[in-house]
Amino acid sequence: MCPEVALAGFPTCRVNLRASCCKEMGAAVVRAIKNFNLENRAAREIGKVKPSAAPRHPSTSRLLREQMSDQADIKGEIGRKDDKLLSLLRDVYVNSRDPVSAAQDKDAGTPQEPKEFRLPKGNHVNMNIENIPKGKVSIVEALTLLNNHKLDPDTWTAEKIAEEYHLEQKDVNSVLKYFVTFEVKIFPSKDMKAIQSK
């Protein structure tokens, strides 16, 4: 067996406990470095001059002196505690609840009507859509109706789309006005010769 290695302030170590011993020694070394000259460093920080407030403008300090001399009793009034007000404040107990609105009251009294659903239209491949609430459309249906309207606007009018998909007329008009499907156009490059049809 190897003799014990002992250093001042460090744990003792044997050869068969080398891994745990090295961890303990490493922690002790780190602790010693952290705490080195701690008291002197703390005293130096405490002894530093604290930053003072920015100097006031001469006109401001003059106005403050005038106000304080005119109303000297206010300074004492600010620092004085009023026992009567403190006792009244201790007696106050606030217990608040949110008021129940008429809409919440009405909703609590009547049972909710079940929503109406419809079956999805078109091809919903690899989608688990069983039913759609009336007044709403799926993404696939929205793209389909926009594309149908773009390809054949005379047949797929806003009225027909609203009737077919159980939508509001104004919503369909807004969708047809503000949404369009993507259209991919490929332009031939200028250096390529176009193939003439025969």
Strand partners, 5: 13
Q: How far from the centroid of its chain's Cα atoms is residue 99's Cα?
A: 29
Residue 117 confidence class, pLDDT cut points 50, 70, 90: low
Do residues 41 and 64 lie in contact, with contact meaning Cβ atoms separated by under 8 Å? no
pLDDT surpassing 70 at residue 76: yes
Residue 154 confidence class, pLDDT cut points 50, 70, 90: very high
- pLDDT tens-digit readout, 79-104: 788 889 889 888 888 888 877 776 66
- pLDDT tens-digit readout, 52-67: 888 888 888 888 888 8
φ and ψ at residue 98, rounded to 5 degrees? -70, 135
Angstrom distance (rounded) from CA 64 to CA 66: 5
- pLDDT tens-digit readout, 8-47: 444 555 554 556 666 777 888 888 888 888 888 888 888 8
What length does the chain have? 198
pLDDT surpassing 50 at residue 7: no
Do residues 2 and 16 lie in contact, with contact meaning Cβ atoms separated by under 8 Å? no
pLDDT surpassing 80 at residue 195: no
Angstrom distance (rounded) from CA 50 to CA 71: 31
Pairing between strand 132-133 and 117-118?
A: antiparallel
Residue 196 confidence class, pLDDT cut points 50, 70, 90: low
